[in-house]
Amino acid sequence: MARIAGVDLPRNKRIDIALTHIYGIGRHTASKMLSDLQIDAAKKSQDLDEDEISRVRETISQDCKVEGDLRREIELNLKRLMDINSYRGLRHRRQLPARGQRTSTNARTRKGKAKTISVGRKAKETARKGG
């Protein structure tokens, strides 16, 4: 099992797909890197020899910001936005959508489960009776 950037790559997947399990490497970056290294993208990750694995590992460590470093940088960027009280920082602090999406009906992923459900017929009747 190949271990690159602290991540165990899945053995039975193509190497271009297996590399996307590393945080910060997508399909485009993976296929571009493999073509530069002249490694067949259709090869399974378990079929790579040690030389190919070391070349991929070396390229990732030199050219890409991945895993912990990338997560830390993103976290610091968000913290900076919150510290300078920018609009985007306020939206992140309040856990609301930061890119202009509507919130009156949607944004449930960001806002969480709805706190109140629309008032039904039974609740309206008890409110009229004063009970």
Q: pLDDT tens across 43-97, in order?
A: 998 899 999 999 999 999 999 899 889 999 999 999 999 999 999 999 999 999 9
Evaluated on CA atoms 125, 126, 127, 128, the torsion sign reads: positive
pTM: 0.73
Q: Where are the CATH 4.10.910.10 domain residues in the chain?
A: 68-131
> Does CATH number 3.30.530.20 belong to domain 68-131?
no
Topology annotation, domain 3-63 = Helicase, Ruva Protein; domain 3 (1.10.8)
The Cα–Cα gap between 71 and 77 comes to 10
| Secondary structure (DSSP) of 26-93 | -HHHHHHHHHHHT--TTSBGGG--HHHHHHHHHHHHHH---HHHHHHHHHHHHHHHHHTT-HHHHHHH
Q: Where are the CATH 1.10.8.50 domain residues in the chain?
A: 3-63
